Amino acid sequence: MGPDNTLDEQAPKHQRRIRYKGTHPKNFKEKYKELEPDKYADDVAKIIQKGNTPAGMHISICVKEILEFLQITPGQTGLDATLGYGGHTLEMLKCLNSEGRLYALDVDPFELPRTKARLERLGYGPEILEIKQMNFAQIDQVAAESGLFNFVLADLGVSSMQIDNPDRGFSFKTEGPLDLRLNPDMGYSAANRLQKMTTDELQYMLIENADEPHAEAIARAITASIKKGIRISTTTALRNIIRDALKLVPKISEDEIKKSCQRCFQALRIDINNEFEVLDEFLEKLPGILASGGRVAILTFHSGEDRRVKKSFKRFLREGVYSEIAPDPIRASAEECHINSRARSAKLRWAIKA
| pLDDT, tens digit (0-9, with 9 covering 90-100), for 235-258 | 999 999 999 999 988 989 999 999
CA pair distance 269, 265, nearest whole angstrom: 6
Whether 273 shows a pLDDT value over 60: the answer reads yes
Whether 8 shows a pLDDT value over 50: the answer reads no
**How would residue 168 be classed by pLDDT, with cut points 50, 70 and 90?**
confident
CA pair distance 230, 262, nearest whole angstrom: 22
CA pair distance 279, 136, nearest whole angstrom: 8
CATH of 58-178+274-320, one of 3.40.47.10, 3.40.50.150, 3.60.150.10, 3.40.50.2000: 3.40.50.150
Residue predicted with more confidence, 301 or 18: 301
CA pair distance 279, 154, nearest whole angstrom: 10
pLDDT of 1 reads: 42
Whether 57 shows a pLDDT value over 80: the answer reads no
Beta strands in the chain, from DSSP E residues, in sequence order? 77-80, 101-106, 129-133, 149-155, 290-300, 322-325, 330-331, 347-353
CA pair distance 86, 94, nearest whole angstrom: 12
Q: 186, 182, 184: which is closest to 157 by C-alpha?
A: 182
Task: Give residue 51's identity as a one-letter amino acid code.
Answer: G
Cβ–Cβ contacts within 10 Å for residue 188, how many? 15
CA pair distance 43, 258, nearest whole angstrom: 30
pLDDT of 23 reads: 55
Task: Give residue 36's identity as a one-letter amino acid code.
Answer: E
Q: 354, 349, 352, 353: which is closest to 66 by C-alpha?
A: 349
Q: 307, 294, 352, 291: which is closest to 326 by C-alpha?
A: 352
Alpha-carbon distances of 181 from 20, 178, 242, 253, 334, rounded to whole Å: 29, 9, 20, 30, 32
**Which region among 6-10, 55-59, 112-116, 274-278 has the lowest average model confidence (pLDDT)?**
6-10
CA pair distance 308, 85, nearest whole angstrom: 25
pLDDT of 318 reads: 98
Residue predicted with more confidence, 172 or 215: 215
CA pair distance 290, 254, nearest whole angstrom: 47
CA pair distance 257, 234, nearest whole angstrom: 18
pLDDT of 44 reads: 46
Whether 68 shows a pLDDT value over 60: the answer reads yes
In this structure, are residues 239 and 261 in contact, taking their beta carbons and an 8 Å threshold? yes
CA pair distance 245, 97, nearest whole angstrom: 55
Domain positions in the chain: 58-178+274-320, 183-272
Instruction: Please tell me what DSSP assigns to residue 249.
Output: S
Which positions ≥6 away from 203 have C-beta within 8 Å?
215, 216, 218, 219
CA pair distance 26, 20, nearest whole angstrom: 8
CATH of 183-272, one of 3.30.1380, 3.30.420, 1.10.150, 1.20.1250: 1.10.150
pLDDT of 248 reads: 87
CA pair distance 70, 150, nearest whole angstrom: 9
Beta strands in 136-289, from DSSP E residues, in sequence order? 149-155
| Residues composing the chain | 354
Cβ–Cβ contacts within 10 Å for residue 172, how many? 21
Identify the helix (H) or strand (E) that includes residue 174: none
